[in-house]
Amino acid sequence: IDASPPTFPVLSVSLGFALVAFAATVALIPGLAPAFARAGLKGRDLLKPDSTLEIPESIGLISASVYILLLIVFIPFLFADALRPSKIAEEKTPLTEVASRPFPHQQLSAYLSALLSLYTATLLGFLDDVFDIRWRHKLPIPIVASVPMLIVYFADGGITSVVVPTPLRPYLGQIVDLGALYYVYMAMVSTFCTNSINILAGINGLEVSQALIIALSIAANDLLYLPWRFTGAEWSAGMAYGSVALVERHLLSLYFMLPLIGVCAGLLYHNRHPASVFPGDTLCYFTGMAFAVVGILGHFSKTLLLFFIPQAFNFILSAPQLFGLVPCPRHRVPRVDRKTLLLSPSVAQFERPPSTLATLVLRIFAALRLTRLTTHPHTGVIMEATNLTVLNMLLLWTGPIREATLVWACVALQFAGSVVAFTVRYGLAGLVYDGDRR
């Protein structure tokens, strides 16, 4: 327990980098976007009066490039603390103190491996935009992207044990070593973070807004673990309970999240309704991987997943279409009335009557007002269902609204999800976990 007042010089630098990230993204996009369109990376905005107009796509690549470049330039600041002992040594400080603070090479290699995973995700995301990979083929891409981080985690002899929830401790003990299963779990976290954002898409600014709110939520959670002065004792303030390791982990998470907030906000400036650029799959890949990286390296993957409640809900809702139980058209975005510009749910049509299982699922969803069915007037067989996405579901609830209103509804949903997440994490987790956090 350290009694000296804590300072956060590196965090201030990171905050400065976030501002640079925002400014650079806002400034670079208008200049570089036309080159994307010229190279064939462009798409139509289907929900606008003139749906033939094509706007530059895959602009998430600019955000990703600025982000990775800034994270690389950040390295000397991050490890400035580690370089300082040699300076102190010159000023004739006791050598015992210097020797007790080794250069944090392990942190450096973890940080570099995270950058490699972000790079892989960015490159694969951009390849997806260029080559337009089918979604069944791209589902495992985040697993490939997480390989660098997992391999370095392995080479570094990373922890693969987890704390067991109190009700299960009589059977499993306090801590259980998952071994190889832990790597499978980490790869699944990457896959989920990446694809779940990608699936909840289709209206202006939606992907970027999700990423932005999740990043802000993670950053807010990180702030809880810093040794603020709001109670008397320094280190016991916040949720770190005197653990230097916990403070360090959440600082590292902030160093990844602050510039991410910057590049996402910068992209949103140009992608918000009415959009002048599209983010492309690149955005979902690198932001999803950034979330996975901090959750895994920061050892708070369960908390992380709580911030994905709307995405998880959308995934469960979409599952019957994604896995072929219900027909899935190429586009599931809401349809637009070109005169009024009001959106209404798009539908999937059944060429053959649905199976018994599909009928059962759809009837349950319809009873919960998650979809609306059109049935044959005589036989009662399902002929049509609104597509199973959160967007169409919201439109069922609100009636016809404009695109900009729907975006705000989604933002509100994501924000509400984060409120629930914090409540669960700090209100209810005490029921199944004691103070033993790692």
How many whole angstroms from its chain centre is CA 286? 9
Instruction: Specify the pairing of strand 342-344 against strand 401-402.
Output: antiparallel
Structure token pair of residue 253? 């998470």
Q: Nearest distance from residue 383's CB to Mg ion, in Å? A: 31
- Omega of the bond prior to 30 within 30 degrees of 0, cis? no
Which stretch, 155-163, 203-211, 227-235, 276-284, contacts Mg ion (CB under 5 A)?
Answer: 276-284
- The item of Mg ion, a second copy, none sharing an interface with residue 153, based on CB under 5 to 8 Å by kind, is none
Q: Nearest distance from residue 320's CB to Mg ion, in Å? A: 22
Q: Nearest distance from residue 144's CB to a second copy, in Å? A: 8
- The item of Mg ion, a second copy, none sharing an interface with residue 307, based on CB under 5 to 8 Å by kind, is none
Q: Nearest distance from residue 22's CB to a second copy, in Å? A: 21
**What residues are paired with 343 via a beta bridge?**
336, 401
Q: Does 281 bind Mg ion (CB under 5 A)?
A: yes
Alpha helix (H) residue ranges in 177-205 = 180-199
The residues, any chain, with a CB within 8 Å of residue 410's CB and separated by 6 or more, are 200, 203, 206, 209, 210, 310, 390, 391, 394
- The item of Mg ion, a second copy, none sharing an interface with residue 281, based on CB under 5 to 8 Å by kind, is Mg ion
**What residues are paired with 163 via a beta bridge?**
175
Q: 118 to 137, contacts with Mg ion by CB under 5 A?
A: 128, 132
Q: Nearest distance from residue 340's CB to a second copy, in Å? A: 38
C-alpha span between 294 and 257 (Å, rounded):
8
C-alpha span between 393 and 334 (Å, rounded):
10
- The item of Mg ion, a second copy, none sharing an interface with residue 128, based on CB under 5 to 8 Å by kind, is Mg ion
Q: Nearest distance from residue 292's CB to a second copy, in Å? A: 16
Residue with token string 């694809």: 195
Structure token pair of residue 310? 């709307």
| Binding footprint of a second copy on the chain (CB under 8 A) | 35-36, 38-41, 65, 69, 72-73, 75-76, 79, 82-83, 86, 103, 105-106, 108-109, 112-113, 115-116, 119-120, 122-123, 126, 130-132, 144, 147-148, 151-152, 154-157
Chain residues that interact with Mg ion, rule: CB under 5 A: 128, 132, 281
